[in-house]
């Protein structure tokens, strides 16, 4: 071992190799190069901290032997469960740069001089896409005028949204603590929500006082919503609507939800979870589906889910930028300056410059590139939906608003629309068996979850265990779509025997 560290520039050749191998990994069609059980991987990797130092070369060899072969490649066109490709070229370049230069977004002046401004630019671009106003750049004098924060994920963004709702409902809870948890009821659509919203309420000390409202076609039943808001008057902190739920990506009727809630309760906090819905903002073909979102008090968006940027970048946008003052922190240790994001990012101190990945992706695509990207996705969604519809043994469960298509394999003897309990149980067994085989074999990836049959394709109200395709990855071709459906059908036939 050398006694004095070599200059970091000496790492250039090995970094070139790391980059080349990693890019080749992403370019591969394979979802997995090798599969092993969790126990086998545990036995391979849980070891004592070595006594002896090792060279950088040895570490890289170890990574390529023991870690890389088991990594999942979400950029594979056969990985169709999610769209987390992390393969936008500009964001890969920017992401590597940001890791190397190590800025800390907690503060501006000495931690992240240019990084903070680039982060504010991203927040403003996202606001603009969603339809929130931005103030002239020359008037942005502090983080209180940025209009949002970036976090490490939709979960973090939703958590800050619930803190805002809590403070808005009972001002001073931040200092006094929660005194009457019953005061913090949370209205959500039944059966289609994301767990993070409920967890966020719990994490912020509000308990889980969920008021689940019935849905119709995966959107709020507005009559039931009005009733729930009225019946719980004085006990509500927020109403949450999904602009793209995490199952079928259905976008709620946001304007109608807003108007329905506001008519009954003019002040309850309205939060839109647009982790997926941001995609609708990218193209005129879907932009209208977001009408009304600009009237919500806060909006979560997840660039790492929808812009092909590497993990982890999410943002919470707030209609009134100053509302972030409700949850701000103050410290004379580090953040005593106007542009210190640490003041407005609850639960986060040191913060990596992940927003640069979104900055680079948005900047390199431009509005035209984003529209083209999204229109291609919509075309792939439509093509997949047509293939499912043309197949007598497959049933599509919704009209796709965005990139998700949830569908199920119909075991022989299923009566779609009027399936009996026994048939529903059988259908779910077979679709779960299909998914288990998919996971075990690791050649293809589709997602699975439970879903209320809100359109009544199998039987209205039945809880189904469908498969889900997502069209985000531009590498997915019609051939991939045909092949995965052939494969699913074959597994379905085998599982139905």
Ligand X SMILES: *Cc1c(COP(=O)(O)O)cnc(C)c1O
Residues binding ligand X (CB under 6 A): 153-155, 158, 194, 196, 242, 245-246, 273, 275-276, 302, 314
DSSP 246: T
Q: What are phi and psi of 90, to 5 degrees?
A: -65, -35
Q: What is the three-class DSSP state of 296? A: coil
CB of 99 to ligand X, least distance (A): 19
User: Nearer Cβ to ligand X, position 286 or 480?
Assistant: 286
User: Nearer Cβ to ligand X, position 217 or 482?
Assistant: 217
Residue whose beta carbon is closest to ligand X: 154
Beta-bridged to residue 464, according to DSSP, are 451
User: Nearer Cβ to ligand X, position 120 or 162?
Assistant: 162
CB of 156 to ligand X, least distance (A): 6
CB of 62 to ligand X, least distance (A): 29
E strand or H helix at 382, and its extent? helix 355-390
CB of 10 to ligand X, least distance (A): 37
Structure tokens at 223: 């009559």
Beta carbons of 118 and 275 less than 8 angstroms apart: no
User: Nearer Cβ to ligand X, position 60 or 449?
Assistant: 449
| Other beta carbons within 10 Å of 253 | 17
Structure tokens at 191: 């059966």
DSSP secondary structure of 437-486: HHHHH-S-B-EE--EE-TT-SS-TT-EE--EEEE---TT--HHHHHHHHH
* Half-sphere exposure for 395 (CA within 13 Å, toward CB): 23
CB of 299 to ligand X, least distance (A): 11
Q: Which of 422, 430, 417 is nearest to 490 (CA)?
A: 430
Q: How far apart are CA 104 and CA 111, in angstroms?
A: 5
Structure tokens at 429: 């067994």
CB of 232 to ligand X, least distance (A): 23
Task: List Cβ neighbours of 54 (8 Å cut-off, separation of 6 or more).
Answer: 62
CB of 192 to ligand X, least distance (A): 9
User: Nearer Cβ to ligand X, position 134 or 248?
Assistant: 248
User: What does the chain come to in residues?
Assistant: 497
DSSP 403: S
User: Nearer Cβ to ligand X, position 189 or 492?
Assistant: 189
User: Nearer Cβ to ligand X, position 275 or 397?
Assistant: 275
CB of 233 to ligand X, least distance (A): 27
User: Nearer Cβ to ligand X, position 184 or 276?
Assistant: 276
CB of 317 to ligand X, least distance (A): 14
Q: How far apart are CA 112 and CA 116, in angstroms?
A: 6
Q: How far apart are CA 164 and CA 158, in angstroms?
A: 10
Cα three-residue angle 313-219-398, rounded to 5 degrees: 90
Q: Please confirm whether the linkage preceding 307 is cis (ω < 30° from 0).
A: no
CB of 248 to ligand X, least distance (A): 11
User: Nearer Cβ to ligand X, position 88 or 273?
Assistant: 273
Beta carbons of 275 and 317 less than 8 angstroms apart: no
User: Nearer Cβ to ligand X, position 245 or 294?
Assistant: 245
């Amino acid at each position: 071992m050398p006694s004095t560290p070599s200059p970091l520039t000496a790492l250039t050749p090995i970094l070139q190799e790391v980059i080349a191998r990693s890019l080749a990994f992403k370019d591969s069609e394979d979802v997995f190069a090798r599969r092993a059980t969790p126990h086998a991987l545990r036995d391979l990797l849980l070891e004592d901290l070595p006594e002896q130092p090792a060279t950088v070369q040895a570490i890289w060899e170890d990574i390529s032997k023991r870690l890389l072969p088991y990594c999942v490649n979400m950029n594979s066109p056969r990985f169709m469960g999610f769209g987390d490709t992390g393969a936008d070229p500009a964001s890969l370049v920017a992401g590597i740069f940001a890791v190397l230069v190590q800025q800390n977004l907690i503060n501006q002046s000495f931690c992240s001089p240019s990084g903070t401004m680039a982060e504010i630019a991203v927040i403003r671009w996202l606001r603009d896409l969603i339809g929130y106003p931005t103030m002239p750049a020359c008037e942005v004098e502090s983080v209180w005028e940025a209009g949002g924060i970036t976090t490490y994920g939709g979960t973090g963004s939703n958590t800050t949204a619930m803190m805002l709702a809590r403070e808005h409902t009972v001002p001073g809870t931040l200092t006094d603590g929660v005194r009457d948890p019953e005061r913090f009821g949370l209205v959500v659509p039944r059966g289609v929500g994301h767990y993070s919203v409920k967890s966020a309420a719990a994490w912020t000390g509000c308990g889980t006082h969920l008021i689940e409202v019935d849905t119709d076609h995966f959107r709020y039943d507005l009559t039931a919503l009005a009733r729930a808001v009225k019946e719980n008057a004085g006990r509500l902190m927020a109403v949450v609507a999904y602009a793209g739920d995490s199952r079928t990506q259905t976008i709620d009727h946001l304007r109608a939800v807003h108007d329905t809630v506001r008519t009954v309760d003019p002040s309850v906090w309205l939060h839109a979870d647009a982790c997926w819905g941001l995609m609708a903002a990218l193209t005129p073909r879907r932009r209208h589906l977001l009408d009304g979102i600009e009237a919500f008090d806060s909006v979560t968006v997840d660039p790492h889910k929808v812009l092909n940027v590497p993990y982890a970048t999410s943002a919470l946008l707030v209609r009134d930028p100053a509302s972030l003052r409700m949850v701000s922190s103050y410290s004379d240790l580090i953040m005593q300056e106007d542009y210190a994001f640490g003041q407005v990012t609850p639960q986060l101190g040191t913060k990596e410059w992940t927003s640069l990945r979104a900055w680079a992706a948005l900047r390199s695509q431009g509005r035209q590139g984003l529209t083209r990207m999204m229109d291609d996705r919509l075309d792939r969604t439509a093509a997949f939906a047509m293939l499912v519809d043309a197949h007598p043994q497959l049933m599509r469960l919704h009209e796709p608003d965005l990139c998700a298509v949830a569908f199920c394999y119909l075991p022989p003897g299923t009566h779609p629309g009027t399936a009996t309990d026994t048939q529903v149980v059988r259908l779910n067994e077979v679709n779960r068996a299909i998914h288990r085989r998919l996971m075990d074999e690791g050649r293809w990836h589709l997602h699975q979850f439970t879903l209320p049959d809100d359109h009544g394709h199998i039987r209205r109200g039945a809880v189904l265990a469908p498969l889900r395709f997502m069209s985000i990855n531009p590498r997915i071709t019609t051939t991939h779509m045909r092949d995965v459906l052939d494969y699913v059908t074959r597994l379905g036939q085998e599982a139905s025997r």
